[in-house]
Amino acid sequence: MNIVSIFTRRALAIFVPLAVLSLLLAGLWMIYQNEQSYRYEQQRAARVQAEILAASVTAALDFGDKAAAQESADAMQANPQVQVAGVYDANGNPFVGYTRTQTLLLPRLPEMSVRDGTLVSATAPVIRSGAKIGTVYLAGTVDPLSRRLSRYAMIALLVVMTSLVLAILGYGQAALGRVNRTLAEANRELQFQMEERSRTEEQLREAQKMQALGQLTGGIAHDFNNLLAVIQGSADILQRPGLSEEKRLRFTNAIIDASTRGALLTGQLLAFARRQPLRPEVLDLNHHILTMLVMLQPTLGPNITLSTQLEKTLLPVEVDPGQFEAALLNIIVNARDAMPDGGEITISTRNVTDGAAIERGQAVAVAIQDNGGGIKPDQLKHVFEPFFTTKEVGKGTGLGLSQVYGFAAQSGGEARIDSEVGRGTTLTILLPASDKLPQIAPEKERPAVAREPSGHVLLVEDNEDVGNLAETLLGELGHVVVRARSGLEALRLADGGAQFDIVFSDVVMPGMTGLELAKKLKQRRPQLPIILTTGYSDRITAIGSKGFPMLRKPYRMETLAVAVDEALAIQRRHSETHFPMDRY
């Protein structure tokens, strides 16, 4: 382990300076290339202007009309960068011209040259009926070197910032190593110096905080880097020419699957952190569990038996059904993995009175018990920690039970685990009982996805990349899109007579949030359908979506199609029932 640490530190010591040097060289190369391009464009512009002047003085030069030729030459003064403009006859003698500087037009065309590095020059022949009757000469200024370099300040800033990030990462790695060594020393100190127990325990707590932060950061980076590797590699392959249709579909599906796993991972992280926006409903957990059995049994395999012991008079609870299903599935999958040779899993429910856990004293307990190998006592206290897992590498992310813990805590309850090596494990979720009655609503029939232009959508999104993608998806679904990049711009469009049937708005935006925009639009037009979308919003987590449909990012094209078509169908049914309604 020490050899690996030493090798890692040395590799970082070499890699960071090399990476910084490479970035600096890359920045200088970009500046050089931009400078060359700028010079070329200035030279080309001077040549084009010379050709334009040559075409405009052809008749004047042919007839010896100096006044007309001088008028054409003076017209070049409209461009402040043109310093010298001269028209010469076929013998190279000056005909007309002007100069902004004290430099005079030279008496002979062949003698002219520009040696000043701040000027670019160009000549163009004056052609009449295929014969050259003269020459036009133009000289113009280029921006001073100091001004040109100022344009590259952003490149230099990005290079410097990236270099600082690399340096900070290197320093952070070294600091993390120091923290780990401090933790080991603190543990030894705890064993041999009991008289200093209070001070040592405080040091240990601080060190454990740093270790948990490092473990969380490392776990997130590991999992997301794996997903990004799949996405990046698949995208690189898709860019190659001559790719077969089978490979195109395979790597396209790989990108979609990796994106889906990434969305699931962020959802699990938010659930652990108690930041996952919940949509609670009053549920009869017995009914919900029995409904899930059809889905759960095929995931267990033929060697595992799934049974239930459900209390008939179970109290209702108010929780998010999707998060409850995810929590139950995570627990059962863990129980299955603990019994590779088969076994039995029992789901039981009961009413409990536990004032220490639930403020009102009334709670519902959902327990999942298996007869697997159990968990060792030293591991049992870590099972709810993020990225902690007893499974083999690649068999689990270590976020399953963290999601269970976060869901239970955010729902006002708690999660408990009891385990004995050789006898099995029981994980119990305690949820506060509700005094409301559960309602089993009939399943709504969703309208078919639109296959032709069916609506005008006001798209409100401040992120340009996300907005472009949403606009493309809506266009592919046959809708006409009106873009707004802020809530204030959306209100100006609405008040200015822009036509739209539905609003699709982000929640987190600078200035005016999506919820505030929706409230103001509803005041103007109460029947206007509004769909909100967000990846995460603390405001949504705290107060909910205020009854507006919510589409979670990242969303699929099919999900977007269903949400928009459902909203449009409701709007059209209202229009048909009450009165014809023009677009806003």
Question: Considering only CA atoms, which of 73, 79, 77 is closest in space to residue 124?
Answer: 73
Q: What is the pLDDT of residue 477?
A: 87
Confidence check: pLDDT of 276 > 60? no
Share of the chain above pLDDT 70, in %: 70
pLDDT, tens digit (0-9, with 9 covering 90-100), for 140-189? 877 666 666 666 666 667 767 777 776 777 677 667 767 777 877 777 77
Question: Considering only CA atoms, which of 287, 278, 276, 230 is closest in space to residue 256?
Answer: 230
pLDDT, tens digit (0-9, with 9 covering 90-100), for 211-220? 655 555 665 6
Of 69-78, 436-445, 491-500, the one with minimum mean pLDDT is 436-445
The CATH superfamily assigned to 60-145 is PAS domain (3.30.450.20)
Q: What is the pLDDT of residue 112?
A: 47
pLDDT, tens digit (0-9, with 9 covering 90-100), for 196-232? 666 666 666 566 555 655 555 665 665 666 667 778 7
DSSP class of residue 196?
Answer: G
For β-strands 530-534 and 480-484, DSSP reports them as unpaired
Judged by DSSP in three states, 510 sits in: coil
Q: What is the pLDDT of residue 349?
A: 93
Judged by DSSP in three states, 319 sits in: strand
- CATH 3.30.565.10 residue ranges of the chain are 281-432
Question: Considering only CA atoms, which of 126, 127, 123, 125 is closest in space to residue 137?
Answer: 123
Confidence check: pLDDT of 59 > 70? yes
- The C-alpha atoms of residue 536 and residue 575 are separated, in whole angstroms, by 34
Q: What is the pLDDT of residue 113?
A: 47
Give me the mean pLDDT over the 44-64 stretch. 86
Confidence check: pLDDT of 75 > 50? yes
Question: Does domain 456-577 sit in CATH 3.40.47.10?
Answer: no
Confidence check: pLDDT of 257 > 90? no
Q: How confident is the model at residue 539 (pLDDT cuts 50, 70, 90)?
A: low
Question: Which is it for the CA torsion 188, 194, 198, 201, positive or negative?
Answer: positive
Structure tokens at 78: 């409209």
Q: How confident is the model at residue 499 (pLDDT cuts 50, 70, 90)?
A: confident
Architecture of domain 281-432: 2-Layer Sandwich (3.30)
Judged by DSSP in three states, 365 sits in: strand
Q: Is 427:367 a contact under the CB 8 Å cutoff? A: yes
Q: How confident is the model at residue 579 (pLDDT cuts 50, 70, 90)?
A: very low
Q: What is the pLDDT of residue 393?
A: 46
Confidence check: pLDDT of 26 > 70? yes
Identify the residue with better confidence: 20 or 70: 70
Could you give the angle at the alpha carbon of 380 between the alpha carbons of 182 and 189, nearest 5°?
25
204 to 172, 173, 223: CA distances (angstroms): 20, 20, 28
Judged by DSSP in three states, 450 sits in: coil
Q: Compute the half-sphere exposure of residue 330: CA atoms within 13 Å on the CB side of its CA.
A: 28
> How much helix, strand and coil, in percent to the nearest 5, is found in the chain?
50, 20, 30
Q: How confident is the model at residue 483 (pLDDT cuts 50, 70, 90)?
A: very high
Give me the mean pLDDT over the 326-336 stretch. 82
DSSP class of residue 284?
Answer: -
DSSP class of residue 69?
Answer: H
pLDDT, tens digit (0-9, with 9 covering 90-100), for 346-391? 999 999 876 555 555 688 999 999 988 888 888 877 777 765 666 5
pLDDT, tens digit (0-9, with 9 covering 90-100), for 399-440? 567 778 878 887 888 888 888 888 889 999 999 988 887 765
Q: What is the pLDDT of residue 498?
A: 85
Give me the mean pLDDT over the 557-567 stretch. 86
The pLDDT mean for the chain works out to 76
DSSP class of residue 405?
Answer: H
Structure tokens at 373: 């190998």
Of 138-142, 286-290, 534-538, 566-570, the one with minimum mean pLDDT is 534-538
Of 45-49, 144-148, 242-246, the one with minimum mean pLDDT is 144-148
Q: What is the pLDDT of residue 536?
A: 64
Confidence check: pLDDT of 115 > 80? no
Q: Which long-range contacts (CB under 8 A, 24 or more apart) does 306-310 make?
A: 306/332, 306/344, 306/345, 306/346, 306/347, 307/344, 307/345, 307/346, 307/347, 308/346, 308/347, 308/348, 309/346, 309/347, 309/348, 309/349, 310/286, 310/347, 310/348, 310/349
